[in-house]
Amino acid sequence: MKKFLNSVDTVLIESLDGFAAAHADILILGEKHKFIRRRELKPGKVALISGGGSGHEPLHGGLVGHGMLDAACPGQVFTSPTPDQMLAAVDAVDTGAGCLFIVKNYEGDVMNFDMAAEMADGVLQVVTNDDVAVENSSYTTGRRGVAGTLVVEKIVGAGAEQGMALPDLKVLGDRVNAATRSMGVALTSGTVPAAGKPTFEIGDGEMEFGVGIHGEPGRRRDALKSADAIAEEVCAAIAGDLGDRAKGPALLFVNGFGGTPSMELYLMYNSARRMFEKQGVTVIRSLVGSYVTSLDMAGCSITLSMLDDQMTALWDAPVHTAALRWGM
């Protein structure tokens, strides 16, 4: 294993310290590294809080800032944060309008965020489950929450910034999640620092079709195919799951898993866009890059979010975070 680290025991703390120092103009690191929060809070605004295991950076800490999250709780690598982290974040960022938790559908995340929500006042939750690859996995009951979580956080974050009330933001988040589908393909495994070896073994001529963001098995192990062939199957699965809704304006998000060059991600975007547009989708908004990663895994996911006028306007609304910045 070759990684830039001093010790596997301190890699997360040191990374968080560096992240907070690099972006000190927009965020603050909470006591005992329990959470990352916006430096400037907006009184009377619903606070958005998310989080999950580390190793998916820039999700979620990189999405803390104006127009997105108010706080993010980082767990250890691929391990859910604990309820006390979420409660500390609520205390730090709730300015009186309540809090909305945005939670990826993984059993540890759901259980711990549920516990925190029960102990805190004025908290509602949106659970994302956009992955169409499998219905259940080693980490979940039901579909996994993956790259579509970013889309929910951006659109709901803009709504919160504009003053929407907590119940309305919950409805909006559920609506965006219902309009969003994703699927990923891995070419290599990621390597968890504490393990010191790849999470799974995969041959040079193989790919894992439908992989999860922790390296969980997908639909099948298959021979490596061309980009067009991969995109065709992924897009067909996404469009098939959306059914009649897979027509009209949409956001196309091609996400890298941490070890894939931008050149290849844009190539996959080109393939996916052509596939979707053949099926009646009109891509009006796009995002390409490594935003919901799996450490150093090579591969990508494709996410399609069907848009209406409100969702499009909220996607376009100003955002200023470490990972996403526009309109400011």
Nearest to 113 by CA among 51, 184, 20: 51
Rounded to whole angstroms, the Cα distance separating 4 from 170 reads 40
Active-site position among 23, 33, 56, 60: 56
String of DSSP letters for 102-170: EEES-HHHHHHHHHHHHHSSSEEEEEE--B-S-S--SS-SSPPP-THHHHHHHHHHHHHHTT--HHHHH
Q: d(Cα 191, Cα 1) in Å, to the nearest integer?
A: 8
Strands 65-66, 47-54: pairing is unpaired
Residue that is written with structure tokens 């200023």 in the block: 320
Reply yes or no on whether 56 is catalytic.
Answer: yes
Which residue of the set 23, 60, 66, 214 is catalytic?
A: 214
For the question of residue 60 being annotated catalytic, the response is no
Q: Closest Cα partner for 160 from 49, 62, 45?
A: 45
Distances (CA, A) of 301 to 55, 109, 187, 264, 292: 16, 21, 11, 12, 9
Q: Which residues are catalytic?
A: 56, 214
